[in-house]
Structure 1
Amino acid sequence: MSIVKANQLVREGKFKEAESMYKSLYNKTKLEMYRFGMEHSRRKQKENSSIKYNSNLNSTDAVNEKRRILFITAGLKGPTAGGGIATCFHSMVKTMGMLSTTETDVLYIAHPYYSQGTYESWKNSYKEYCNANFIVINVDNKNYGTKEMKRSHAILEYLMENEGLYDRVVFHDFMGLAYYTVLAKKFGVGLSNTKVIISGHGNHMLSNFFGKKKVDSWHTKAILFMERMSLKYADEVTSPSSFYKDWLSGNLEIDKNKIVVLPNIIYTSDSKEKIDVTFKDDTKKLLVFYGRIERLKGIDLLIEAIKKSNSKQVVHNILIAGLSTKIDGLDAKDYIAKALTSVNCEVQYKFNCQPTEVFNYIKENKGTCILPTLGENAPCIVVECILHGVPFLASDIPGIKEMVSDKYHSTYLFQTGSLLELTEKIQLETPAPTDSVLSYNMQQNELVWVDYLSQKSNQLVVLPSRIKDQKRPLISVVIPTCDRPELLEAAVESIYNQSYSNFEIIIVDDASVDSELNRSVASKYSCSYVYLSDKSYKGLACNTAVEYAKGEYICFFDDDDIAHPDMLDRYVVAFNRSDVNILSGFCEVFEHDTSYTSTSENYYSLALGGGLEVNLSINMFGKGSFIIDTQFFKEIGGYEVDESAVPMVDYRFYIKASLMGAEISIIPQAQYFYRKNSPKSLYYLSGNNRTQQFLAKASIQNILEKKLGRDIGKAVAPMIWDVSLPHYK
C-alpha cells in the first residue's frame, strides 16, 4: 500500500478503492496529501453517481476517454534554481499529476537548455514525485528572430507534431511564448480542439512600470508585443489576484470575462537542508532579502533602511539570496557593496539556492525575510514564508494584501516604498506566521485548480483544415520581374500548382531586355502579362499590375521565391477567420546555389506582424510576399513610387499601411521558400549600400511626415535611421 498505488487507482477511475487506501495511509501518518487524496476521491465518487445514463454513449467511452494536459514553461523548479514562475509551474504540474485523472506533461523550454542536473535525472524525478512526463525540445538557432520568437516557434512545431494529443496547454504570460500557438489557432493552422490557457504571473510591462525601467531595445519591444498578443488571443487567462486581473483588463485591454482568479499553488518541502552561511557575530539580528536582486524588488529601499538603522546605532547581519542581476551596469553584489561601503554591517551573499534551504536557514537563525517590492503581481515568496512559518515583512502592494488575511496586515506589511515604516519595522521582532495568516486555504485551492484544469470544454470545435463551404474569393497574384526568366518560371509554376484554384496570375515585366522569355512563361501558364517599356521599379510596377487585377485580394509574390502548395488556401482560411487587412507568414530560406528542398541547410525567417511598436525599430512585419484586401490597397494609395533603385520597398509599404490603420498579422508557418543571394536582385546589383540606405530612410521619413504631420513625423523619424538592410554571410 503506497501513495503511488493510490494515485494510480485515481487515474484508473477507481475512486472508492483509492479513498480506502488514502484513508489507511492517513490513519498511519497524518500527512495532508493523504487527506486531500481521500477528499478528492470521495468527491469524484459523488460526481460520477450524479451522471445520467446516455443511451447514445458507447459503454466504454467514459472509461477509455483519456485527457491530457501540457504545461509549457521557461522556468521549472528543479532544473531552474528558483523564481516565481518555476515554483508555480512545478506546483501546478505536481497537483495535476498527483490529484487528477488527467495525463500530465511538462515541456521545459529554456533556451539554451540548462538545468542543475541531467535530462534523465529530471525525467525520472518528475515521474516519481509529480507523476508527470518531463519533456525538452531543441530550439533551432539557425532561425531568424529573437530568442523568444525561436522558442515560441519550437513550441508550435511540437504541438503541431502532436496535434490532438492535448486537451489543454498552459503557458505563462512572461516572454509571450504562446504567441505563435495562439496565432495558429486563430488563423486555422491547427489546434482547434485544444484550449490555450495563459497563467498570469507578471509581464514586462508590469515590471517596467513598477521597476521604473525604460524600454531600451527593439528586442524588449518584441517581447512586450508577444506578451500582449498572447493574452489577447488566448482562450482563457488565470490570474493569482484580483489586482492583476484588473491590471490586465485596464492596461492591456484583455477581456475580463475570460480571466479567472485562482491563487497560486505552493508546496512546502520536508527537507531539512539549509544554505551554508556564517556571520562573524551571530548575535545581531538577521535580515534576509530573497528573490531577484533588482530595483523592482525594492533592493534600493532595503539598502536605505539599513543605512538609516545604522545611523541610529542599530546593526544587522544582512543576507542577500536569490538570483543576481545587473544594476546600473554593475553585478548586484558589487552594486550593494558600493552602496553600503560606509555602513557598519556584515553582508553575505548566496545565489541560485532552493527556497527550502533559505527558509530553513532563516528559521534556525531567527531572522526575518524582507520583501520590499515596489510593485508586482502576487509574489510566491510571501506564501512560502507563511507556509514555512518564516517571519517576514512585505510591501502592501495590492497583490500581497490579497494573500495576507486582513487582521495580519499591520503585523507583516508596511506601506510600499516607505523608508520610515520599513526602518521602524525591521527594528522590531516579527512573529512567525501560522497558516491562518494566508487568506485562502491551500489544500482547497489545489482542488479548485484540479477542477478548473480537468473540466471538459464545450466551446471547442474541430474545424476543417481545408476550405470547403467557406468563402472562396478570387485572388490576383502579382509577380513583378525583370530579366530573370528561369527564376520567374519556377515562381509561377509554384503558384500554378496551388491547392487553391480560384486565382489569376499577373506578371508585370519591368522593362526586361529580353521580354519575350517572360512573355513565353506567361503564355505557358495562362498568366496575364503587363510589359512596362520604361524602368519603373517595384512600387510602380506592382501598382500598375493592380489596375488589371480582378481579385478581391492581391497576393504580391517575388519572382525568385517558391510558394508552398497550400499558401493561397492558408491565406483564405485565415482571412475567413479574422478581420485583418494584410497577412504575411514565415518563409523557409534557402541559398540560390542549392535546391530549396535541401532542408538540412534551410532555416526559417520568423516574423511578428503587428504595427509600429516593434517595426519602426526593426522590420518584423514579414517578408515581401503577402496578401492584402484589394480595396484597402487602393484606398491607402498602394506602394511608394521610386525614381531609382531604392530598397526596403515592402518595409516602407508596411509602415505606410500601418500608419493608415491596417491590421497586419502573420500565419505562423512557412508560406513559401525565400531564395537568398539570388542573382540580379536590387541589393546585390548595387555596391553603394550607403546610398541605398539613405534613399530608403529618406522615403520612410517622408511617409511619416505625410501621415503624422511634419512636426510629429520629424520627431519620430530618427528611430528608423538605425534600421538596417539584411546582412547575409
Structure 2
Amino acid sequence: MSNPLVSVIIPTYKRVNYLKLTLDSIINQTFQDFEIIVIDDGSPSDENLILCNNYKKVYYIKIENSGGPAKPRNIGIKEAKGKYIAFVDDDDLWLPSKLEKQIAILEQNLDFGLVHSCCEIIDEKGVAKNEIIGRPGTPDVKHGNVSLRMMGNWTIMSSTPLVRKEVIEKVGFFNEKMLPAGEDVEYWTRTSFCTKFYYIDKPLVQYRVHNNNISNQKTKYLQLPLYLKSVLENQLELKIIDKKQFQLLLNNLCKMQIRTFKNGFFKTLKNLFLIDSKWIIKPNNIKMMIFLFIKK
C-alpha cells in the first residue's frame, strides 16, 4: 500500500467538540489522498480516542501532557508518511478546496517549498464575523523570498500552510523549550530562511476566535523576540544573511519587543537591551515607545 501524499498533523487537548468539527472539515476535502495524525497532549479522558476511532484516516496518539503544541507537532512530524505536511489547530476549520488548491500550486511551482493563505474569522459557534486575518497590505509581502520582510513583522497563520516534507526535514523540529506561545512564529521564521513561500490571497481556513486562544495570552509573548534573535544569529553564522541584513532584522526585533511593553514594561525594557544594547540611541525606537505610551 502506497503512502498518502499529505500528512495532516493536529495537536489537541480537551477540545473534543471543536476537534470533531476540525476533523470533519478535513475529511470533506475535495482532495482525498491524505492521512490525519491526531496527537492528544494528555487529555484527562478518552473522549478524543473514542472520537478518532470513528474516522478511518485518523491515526491517534496520546502522550503525557507537555503543556503546549510544540511536542505534539514534533511527534506528528516523526510519524508523517506524506510527501507534504500540513498543520491544523484543533479549533480551526479547512474550507473544502484547501488541499486541492495548495497541492496544485506546489506540484506546479517546484521552487516553492511552502504555500499558505489568510483566514476567515469565525466565533465560538462557527459564525463568520466577516473579518479576514493574516492578509497583508499587498500580497507580495508574504510571497517569495520573505525572510527579510517577515522577521519581527508577521507570521504564517498556523492552520494554513502546506509544506514539502524535505523542507521540514531541513528546518527541523518545533522548539519545545519555548512557552506555548510563539513557538509557531519561531518555526515559520526559521522556515523562511530555507525556502520560498507561495501566498494565496484568499482565505482557505476558518480561524476560530474564543476565550481560550493561546494568542490571547499576551504576556507569554514577551520572550519571543529573544528566541528570534537566536534564529537571526544562526543565519548570520551560516552566512545566509550578511551583517547589514543582520542589523536591519535586529532592529525589527527591537520594534517587535517595544510593542510588548503594555504586557510588561520592565521585562520589555530588559529584553530590549538583551536584543541590542544600542537600541536606545536609535531615534525611531524611542519615538515608537513614546507613541505607544501616549496611546496607552
TM range (shorter): 0.7 to 0.9
Q: Contact 1:536–1:643 (CA<8 Å) still a contact in 2?
A: no
Q: Percent identity among equivalent residues?
A: 21
Tell me how far apart the structure 2 counterparts of residues 587 and 665 of structure 1 sit (CA, whole Å). Answer: 15
Tell me if 1:650 matches 2:180: no
Greater Cα radius of gyration, structure 1 or 2: 1
* Residue in 1 that maps onto 2:120: 588
Output the CA distance in 2 between the equivalents of 1:681 and 1:490: 17
CA distance in 2, matches of 1:487, 1:475: 22
Amino acid at match of 2:157: K
Deviation at 1:679, TM superposition (A): 4.0
Matched, 1:487 2:18: yes
Q: What amino acid is the match of 1:521?
A: L
Aligned pairs for 1:395-410 within 5 A? none
Q: Which residue does 1:559 correspond to in 2?
A: 90
Tell me how far 1:524 sits from its aligned partner.
1.4
Q: 1:109-152 CA distances to partner (integer Å, 9 max, x unpaired)?
A: xxxxxxxxxxxxxxxxxxxxxxxxxxxxxxxxxxxxxxxxxxxx
Q: Residue in 1 aligned with 2:290?
A: none
Moved over 3 A (4+): 710-716
State the 1:714 CA deviation. Answer: 7.0
2:173 to 609, 628, 638: 638
Q: Tell me the amino acid that sits aligned with residue 667 of structure 1.
A: I
The 3-state SS of whatever aligns with 1:537 is coil
1:575 aligns with 2:106: yes
Structure 1 residue 537, shift from structure 2 partner: 2.1
Equivalent residues in 2 for 1:234-633 (5 A)?
474-514=5-45, 516-526=46-56, 527-535=58-66, 537-579=68-110, 580-592=112-124, 594-596=125-127, 598=128, 601-605=129-133, 606-607=135-136, 608-610=141-143, 611-619=146-154, 621-625=155-159, 626-633=161-168
Alignment of 1:53-64 (within 5 A): none
Amino acid at match of 1:523: N
Give the counterpart letter for 1:578 in structure 2.
N
- Unmatched runs of 5 consecutive residues or more in structure 1: 1-471
Q: CA deviation at 1:536?
A: 5.1
Secondary structure of 2:91's aligned partner: coil
Higher normalized contact order (CA 8 Å, seq sep 6+, divided by chain length): 2
Aligned equivalents of 2:26, 2:183: Cα separation in 1: 22
Residue matched to 1:350:
none
Check whether the contact 1:498–1:566 (CA below 8 A) recurs between aligned residues: yes
- Please report how far the alpha carbon of residue 521 of structure 1 lies from its aligned counterpart in structure 2 after TM superposition: 1.9
Aligned letter for 1:623?
Answer: M
Q: How does 1:683-722 map to 2 (within 5 A)?
A: 683-684=215-216, 686=217, 689-690=218-219, 692-709=220-237, 712=243, 715=247, 716-722=249-255
Q: Is the 8 A contact 1:478 1:554 kept in 2?
A: yes
Q: 1:298-335 CA deviation, whole Å, 9 max, x = no partner?
A: xxxxxxxxxxxxxxxxxxxxxxxxxxxxxxxxxxxxxx
Question: What's the TM-score once normalised by structure 1's chain length?
Answer: 0.32
- 8 Å CA contact 1:622, 1:666 repeated in 2: no
- Cα distance in 2 between the residues matched to 1:541 and 1:595: 25
Number of paired residues?
242
Is contact 1:701-1:714 (8 Å) kept? no
Instruction: Give the aligned partner of residue 123 of structure 1.
Output: none
> Counterpart of 1:565 in 2: which secondary structure?
coil
1:662-702 Cα shifts (integer Å, max 9, x gaps): 111212211111112x2433234x4xx34x22221111111
Partner in structure 1 of residue 199 of structure 2 = 666
Cα RMSD after superposing both structures: 2.5
2:126 touches 2:208 (CA, 8 Å); kept in 1? no
CA distance 1:511–1:718, change in 2 (3 Å): farther
> Quick one: distance in 2 between partners of 1:649 and 1:489?
25
Kindly state the Cα deviation for residue 473 of structure 1 after the two structures are TM-superposed: 6.2
Q: Distance in 1 between the 2:38 and 2:28 partners?
A: 16
> Aligned to 1:525, what secondary structure does the other structure show?
coil
Secondary structure of 2:172's partner?
A: coil
Contact 2:38 2:61 in 1 (8 A): yes
Q: How many angstroms does 1:612 deviate by?
A: 2.3
Aligned-residue offset at 1:497 = 0.9
Deviation digits for residues 484-519 of structure 1 (CA, Å, limit 9, x no counterpart): 1111111111001111110110001122222x1111
**Residue 585 of structure 1: SS of its match in structure 2?**
strand
